[in-house]
Amino acid sequence: MSQRGIALIQVLIITFVLSLLGLYINQSVGEQVKITTSIQNKFLMRLELEKTEADLLQALLSNNKYPNKSADNSITSKWNFYGKEFQLNDNAYVTLTDLSSLMGLNISDATLLKNVLLQIGVDDVSAREFVDSLADWKDKNDLSRLNGAESAYYKQHKKSYVARNGFLQDPSEVALIRGGEQITPKLLNQYFTTEIVAGFNPLNAPQKILNAFINDENNIQKILQLREQGALNSYAFYKLTGVEADEYITFATGSKIKVQLRVIYNGAQLTKTYTLDATPQSYTKPMVFSHISWNKN
Protein backbone atom coordinates (compact mmCIF):
# COMPACT_ATOMS: atom_id res chain seq x y z
CA MET A 1 0.00 0.00 0.00
CA SER A 2 2.78 2.40 0.88
CA GLN A 3 4.48 1.78 -2.48
CA ARG A 4 1.20 2.40 -4.30
CA GLY A 5 0.71 5.65 -2.35
CA ILE A 6 4.21 6.81 -3.19
CA ALA A 7 3.66 5.97 -6.85
CA LEU A 8 0.37 7.89 -6.86
CA ILE A 9 2.05 10.90 -5.32
CA GLN A 10 4.83 10.73 -7.91
CA VAL A 11 2.25 10.56 -10.70
CA LEU A 12 0.42 13.58 -9.27
CA ILE A 13 3.67 15.55 -8.96
CA ILE A 14 4.67 14.69 -12.53
CA THR A 15 1.17 15.60 -13.76
CA PHE A 16 1.34 18.91 -11.90
CA VAL A 17 4.79 19.71 -13.32
CA LEU A 18 3.66 18.81 -16.84
CA SER A 19 0.55 20.95 -16.42
CA LEU A 20 2.67 23.91 -15.36
CA LEU A 21 5.03 23.30 -18.26
CA GLY A 22 2.09 23.11 -20.68
CA LEU A 23 0.62 26.31 -19.26
CA TYR A 24 3.98 28.08 -19.62
CA ILE A 25 4.41 26.86 -23.20
CA ASN A 26 0.86 27.95 -24.04
CA GLN A 27 1.44 31.43 -22.57
CA SER A 28 4.80 31.70 -24.29
CA VAL A 29 3.28 30.78 -27.65
CA GLY A 30 0.50 33.34 -27.08
CA GLU A 31 3.04 36.06 -26.36
CA GLN A 32 5.07 35.11 -29.42
CA VAL A 33 1.92 35.27 -31.56
CA LYS A 34 1.13 38.74 -30.17
CA ILE A 35 4.68 39.94 -30.84
CA THR A 36 4.60 38.49 -34.36
CA THR A 37 1.19 40.10 -35.04
CA SER A 38 2.43 43.44 -33.71
CA ILE A 39 5.52 43.29 -35.96
CA GLN A 40 3.35 42.35 -38.91
CA ASN A 41 0.92 45.23 -38.22
CA LYS A 42 3.79 47.71 -37.96
CA PHE A 43 5.24 46.47 -41.21
CA LEU A 44 1.86 46.74 -42.96
CA MET A 45 1.31 50.25 -41.55
CA ARG A 46 4.72 51.37 -42.72
CA LEU A 47 4.07 49.84 -46.14
CA GLU A 48 0.69 51.60 -46.39
CA LEU A 49 2.19 54.92 -45.32
CA GLU A 50 5.02 54.71 -47.84
CA LYS A 51 2.59 53.82 -50.66
CA THR A 52 0.34 56.75 -49.68
CA GLU A 53 3.35 59.06 -49.59
CA ALA A 54 4.57 57.93 -53.02
CA ASP A 55 1.12 58.49 -54.54
CA LEU A 56 0.85 61.90 -52.89
CA LEU A 57 4.27 63.07 -54.09
CA GLN A 58 3.48 61.98 -57.62
CA ALA A 59 0.22 63.94 -57.48
CA LEU A 60 1.99 67.05 -56.16
CA LEU A 61 4.58 66.89 -58.94
CA SER A 62 2.10 66.35 -61.76
CA ASN A 63 -0.90 68.50 -60.78
CA ASN A 64 -1.62 72.13 -59.88
CA LYS A 65 -1.99 72.55 -56.11
CA TYR A 66 -5.67 73.49 -56.19
CA PRO A 67 -8.83 71.60 -55.20
CA ASN A 68 -10.42 69.84 -58.16
CA LYS A 69 -13.37 67.69 -57.15
CA SER A 70 -13.95 66.56 -60.75
CA ALA A 71 -10.38 65.26 -61.21
CA ASP A 72 -9.86 61.61 -62.15
CA ASN A 73 -6.95 61.29 -59.73
CA SER A 74 -8.23 59.96 -56.39
CA ILE A 75 -5.90 62.29 -54.47
CA THR A 76 -6.43 65.57 -56.33
CA SER A 77 -10.19 65.09 -56.23
CA LYS A 78 -10.08 64.96 -52.41
CA TRP A 79 -7.19 67.17 -51.37
CA ASN A 80 -7.21 70.64 -49.88
CA PHE A 81 -4.37 72.86 -48.69
CA TYR A 82 -5.96 74.54 -45.67
CA GLY A 83 -5.11 71.89 -43.10
CA LYS A 84 -8.30 69.80 -43.13
CA GLU A 85 -7.58 66.09 -42.99
CA PHE A 86 -8.96 64.01 -45.88
CA GLN A 87 -9.23 60.24 -46.17
CA LEU A 88 -7.66 58.41 -49.11
CA ASN A 89 -8.77 54.87 -48.29
CA ASP A 90 -9.85 52.69 -45.36
CA ASN A 91 -6.51 53.12 -43.58
CA ALA A 92 -4.77 56.28 -44.84
CA TYR A 93 -5.41 59.95 -44.03
CA VAL A 94 -3.57 63.05 -45.25
CA THR A 95 -3.38 66.67 -44.05
CA LEU A 96 -1.83 69.36 -46.27
CA THR A 97 -1.21 72.90 -45.02
CA ASP A 98 -0.07 75.68 -47.32
CA LEU A 99 2.57 77.44 -45.21
CA SER A 100 2.05 80.71 -47.10
CA SER A 101 -1.43 80.80 -45.55
CA LEU A 102 -0.07 80.85 -41.99
CA MET A 103 1.36 83.81 -40.09
CA GLY A 104 5.02 84.19 -40.90
CA LEU A 105 7.27 84.89 -37.93
CA ASN A 106 10.27 85.88 -40.03
CA ILE A 107 8.52 87.93 -42.69
CA SER A 108 5.14 89.40 -41.77
CA ASP A 109 3.01 92.51 -41.57
CA ALA A 110 3.20 93.85 -37.99
CA THR A 111 -0.47 94.93 -37.88
CA LEU A 112 -1.73 91.59 -39.16
CA LEU A 113 0.54 89.73 -36.75
CA LYS A 114 -0.85 91.72 -33.80
CA ASN A 115 -4.44 91.08 -34.92
CA VAL A 116 -3.76 87.34 -35.25
CA LEU A 117 -2.33 87.27 -31.73
CA LEU A 118 -5.49 88.94 -30.42
CA GLN A 119 -7.64 86.43 -32.32
CA ILE A 120 -5.93 83.44 -30.71
CA GLY A 121 -6.39 84.84 -27.20
CA VAL A 122 -3.18 86.75 -26.46
CA ASP A 123 -3.90 89.89 -24.43
CA ASP A 124 -3.30 93.30 -25.98
CA VAL A 125 -0.25 94.19 -23.84
CA SER A 126 1.51 90.90 -24.58
CA ALA A 127 0.61 91.17 -28.27
CA ARG A 128 2.23 94.61 -28.53
CA GLU A 129 5.28 93.41 -26.61
CA PHE A 130 5.70 90.35 -28.80
CA VAL A 131 5.35 92.19 -32.12
CA ASP A 132 8.00 94.77 -31.14
CA SER A 133 10.23 92.22 -29.39
CA LEU A 134 10.08 89.87 -32.37
CA ALA A 135 11.30 92.69 -34.60
CA ASP A 136 14.09 93.45 -32.09
CA TRP A 137 14.96 89.75 -31.92
CA LYS A 138 15.54 89.66 -35.69
CA ASP A 139 17.23 93.01 -36.39
CA LYS A 140 20.99 93.47 -36.02
CA ASN A 141 21.01 96.64 -33.90
CA ASP A 142 20.66 97.06 -30.13
CA LEU A 143 17.92 99.71 -30.19
CA SER A 144 14.72 98.55 -28.54
CA ARG A 145 11.34 99.46 -29.98
CA LEU A 146 8.66 101.04 -27.78
CA ASN A 147 7.38 97.70 -26.42
CA GLY A 148 10.33 95.64 -27.55
CA ALA A 149 13.31 93.89 -26.01
CA GLU A 150 16.93 93.70 -27.07
CA SER A 151 19.76 91.72 -25.48
CA ALA A 152 20.01 94.18 -22.56
CA TYR A 153 16.43 93.36 -21.54
CA TYR A 154 17.12 89.63 -21.37
CA LYS A 155 20.34 90.17 -19.43
CA GLN A 156 18.50 92.45 -17.01
CA HIS A 157 15.92 89.72 -16.41
CA LYS A 158 18.69 87.16 -15.84
CA LYS A 159 17.98 85.11 -18.95
CA SER A 160 20.66 82.75 -20.19
CA TYR A 161 20.33 84.02 -23.76
CA VAL A 162 20.32 87.24 -25.79
CA ALA A 163 18.46 88.38 -28.91
CA ARG A 164 19.37 86.31 -31.96
CA ASN A 165 19.86 89.28 -34.32
CA GLY A 166 18.65 87.10 -37.16
CA PHE A 167 15.68 85.12 -38.41
CA LEU A 168 14.08 82.51 -36.15
CA GLN A 169 15.31 79.01 -36.92
CA ASP A 170 12.46 77.20 -35.19
CA PRO A 171 9.02 78.19 -33.80
CA SER A 172 10.14 77.10 -30.31
CA GLU A 173 12.20 80.33 -30.12
CA VAL A 174 8.92 82.20 -29.58
CA ALA A 175 8.93 81.07 -25.94
CA LEU A 176 12.20 82.98 -25.42
CA ILE A 177 10.93 86.30 -26.80
CA ARG A 178 9.27 88.91 -24.60
CA GLY A 179 5.48 88.67 -24.91
CA GLY A 180 5.54 85.15 -26.35
CA GLU A 181 4.58 83.35 -23.13
CA GLN A 182 0.90 82.96 -24.11
CA ILE A 183 1.64 81.44 -27.51
CA THR A 184 1.53 77.72 -26.77
CA PRO A 185 3.19 75.05 -28.95
CA LYS A 186 -0.28 74.02 -30.16
CA LEU A 187 -1.06 77.59 -31.30
CA LEU A 188 2.37 77.87 -32.93
CA ASN A 189 1.79 74.69 -34.89
CA GLN A 190 -1.70 75.75 -35.99
CA TYR A 191 -1.19 79.40 -36.94
CA PHE A 192 2.51 80.27 -37.39
CA THR A 193 5.54 79.33 -39.44
CA THR A 194 9.21 80.26 -39.55
CA GLU A 195 9.52 79.21 -43.20
CA ILE A 196 10.42 81.94 -45.69
CA VAL A 197 7.45 82.02 -48.06
CA ALA A 198 6.56 84.24 -51.01
CA GLY A 199 3.64 86.32 -49.78
CA PHE A 200 0.49 85.58 -47.79
CA ASN A 201 -2.27 83.43 -49.30
CA PRO A 202 -5.65 84.09 -47.63
CA LEU A 203 -7.44 81.42 -49.69
CA ASN A 204 -5.97 78.68 -47.48
CA ALA A 205 -5.71 80.62 -44.21
CA PRO A 206 -7.23 79.32 -40.94
CA GLN A 207 -10.42 81.06 -39.83
CA LYS A 208 -8.78 83.06 -37.02
CA ILE A 209 -6.20 84.44 -39.45
CA LEU A 210 -9.01 85.33 -41.85
CA ASN A 211 -10.76 87.10 -38.97
CA ALA A 212 -7.63 89.15 -38.35
CA PHE A 213 -7.13 89.87 -42.06
CA ILE A 214 -10.71 90.72 -43.11
CA ASN A 215 -12.65 91.52 -39.91
CA ASP A 216 -16.01 90.74 -41.57
CA GLU A 217 -17.72 87.71 -40.04
CA ASN A 218 -20.47 87.49 -42.67
CA ASN A 219 -18.06 87.42 -45.61
CA ILE A 220 -15.69 85.05 -43.80
CA GLN A 221 -18.49 82.51 -43.48
CA LYS A 222 -19.18 82.82 -47.22
CA ILE A 223 -15.47 82.33 -47.93
CA LEU A 224 -15.35 79.21 -45.76
CA GLN A 225 -18.44 77.79 -47.48
CA LEU A 226 -16.95 78.36 -50.94
CA ARG A 227 -13.70 76.76 -49.78
CA GLU A 228 -15.50 73.64 -48.53
CA GLN A 229 -17.24 73.39 -51.90
CA GLY A 230 -13.92 73.72 -53.75
CA ALA A 231 -15.21 76.90 -55.42
CA LEU A 232 -13.02 79.53 -53.75
CA ASN A 233 -10.67 81.40 -56.09
CA SER A 234 -9.08 84.84 -56.35
CA TYR A 235 -12.09 86.34 -58.17
CA ALA A 236 -14.61 85.05 -55.63
CA PHE A 237 -12.39 86.33 -52.82
CA TYR A 238 -12.11 89.75 -54.47
CA LYS A 239 -15.90 90.00 -54.94
CA LEU A 240 -16.44 89.36 -51.23
CA THR A 241 -13.56 91.38 -49.78
CA GLY A 242 -12.20 93.77 -52.41
CA VAL A 243 -8.72 92.34 -51.77
CA GLU A 244 -6.47 91.90 -54.80
CA ALA A 245 -3.05 90.34 -55.25
CA ASP A 246 -0.08 92.65 -54.62
CA GLU A 247 3.55 92.40 -53.52
CA TYR A 248 2.43 90.80 -50.24
CA ILE A 249 -0.91 89.09 -51.07
CA THR A 250 -0.87 86.03 -53.32
CA PHE A 251 -3.67 83.69 -54.35
CA ALA A 252 -1.43 80.79 -55.35
CA THR A 253 -0.79 77.80 -53.12
CA GLY A 254 2.84 78.09 -52.04
CA SER A 255 5.62 75.64 -52.79
CA LYS A 256 6.13 74.89 -49.09
CA ILE A 257 3.56 72.47 -47.72
CA LYS A 258 3.30 70.92 -44.28
CA VAL A 259 2.39 67.26 -44.78
CA GLN A 260 0.97 64.83 -42.24
CA LEU A 261 0.38 61.21 -43.19
CA ARG A 262 -1.64 59.06 -40.80
CA VAL A 263 -2.28 55.32 -41.12
CA ILE A 264 -4.56 53.29 -38.84
CA TYR A 265 -4.39 49.49 -38.88
CA ASN A 266 -6.01 47.08 -36.40
CA GLY A 267 -6.36 49.83 -33.80
CA ALA A 268 -2.73 50.99 -34.06
CA GLN A 269 -1.65 54.30 -35.59
CA LEU A 270 1.46 55.54 -37.39
CA THR A 271 2.00 59.19 -38.37
CA LYS A 272 4.70 61.01 -40.31
CA THR A 273 4.94 64.80 -40.48
CA TYR A 274 7.33 66.99 -42.46
CA THR A 275 7.71 70.22 -44.41
CA LEU A 276 7.86 69.72 -48.15
CA ASP A 277 9.19 72.30 -50.60
CA ALA A 278 7.68 71.10 -53.87
CA THR A 279 8.94 72.87 -57.00
CA PRO A 280 8.15 70.58 -59.97
CA GLN A 281 9.83 72.91 -62.50
CA SER A 282 13.20 72.56 -60.75
CA TYR A 283 15.45 69.95 -62.38
CA THR A 284 17.90 69.74 -59.47
CA LYS A 285 15.66 69.92 -56.37
CA PRO A 286 12.02 69.28 -57.28
CA MET A 287 11.36 68.27 -53.67
CA VAL A 288 13.13 69.17 -50.44
CA PHE A 289 12.10 67.56 -47.12
CA SER A 290 12.72 69.08 -43.69
CA HIS A 291 11.49 68.93 -40.08
CA ILE A 292 10.63 65.22 -40.38
CA SER A 293 9.03 63.62 -37.33
CA TRP A 294 7.23 60.37 -36.55
CA ASN A 295 4.21 59.83 -34.27
CA LYS A 296 4.15 63.47 -33.22
CA ASN A 297 0.88 65.37 -33.00
The predicted pLDDT at position 105 comes to 94
Phi, then psi, of 90 in degrees rounded to 5: -60, -25
Model pLDDT, residue 225: 96
| pLDDT tens series, the chain, 297 aa | 566 666 667 666 777 666 777 777 766 666 665 655 566 777 888 999 999 999 999 999 888 898 888 888 889 999 999 999 999 988 999 999 999 999 999 988 899 999 999 999 999 999 999 999 999 999 999 999 999 999 999 999 999 999 999 999 988 999 999 999 999 999 999 999 999 887 899 999 999 999 999 989 999 999 999 999 999 999 999 999 999 999 889 999 999 999 999 999 888 899 999 999 987 766 677 889 999 999 876
> Based on the number of CB atoms within 10 Å of its own CB, is 120 exposed (0-12), middle (13-18) or buried (19 or more)?
buried
CA distance 17 to 196: 70
User: According to the model, what pLDDT value does residue 33 have?
Assistant: 57
For 73, phi then psi, to 5°, come to -65, 130
Q: Looking at domain 103-204+214-241, which CATH architecture does it have? A: Orthogonal Bundle (1.10)
> How far does CA 262 lie from the centroid of its chain?
11
Q: Quick one: pLDDT at residue 71?
A: 83
Report the pLDDT value the prediction gives residue 167, as an integer from 0 to 100: 95
* Triad 65, 68, 74: Cα angle to 5°: 95
pLDDT at res. 292: 92
